[in-house]
Amino acid sequence: GMDLVSGDNVCRIFFPQPLVKASELRPALVEMARAGRAASAT
């Protein structure tokens, strides 16, 4: 996962499955954004 920080606020974001290589990060974030947009559209 990763942490998003803004001042004293911290939010932990968990990935659907653990990443093994750094090159897996962008595709995972793209898919998470796609899923989030689809969920908010319904």
Supply the pLDDT for residue 31: 95
**1-42 confidence digits (pLDDT tens):** 999 999 999 999 999 899 999 999 999 999 999 999 999 987
**Apex CA 22: angle with CA 18 and CA 4, to 5°?**
70
The structure's pTM equals 0.72
H/E stretch holding 29 reads helix 25-41
For 6, 26, 36, the CA distances from 14, given in Å and listed in that order, are: 18, 14, 13
> So where are the chain's domains?
2-41
Supply the pLDDT for residue 40: 92
Quote the CA–CA distance of 6 and 29 in Å, as a whole number: 19
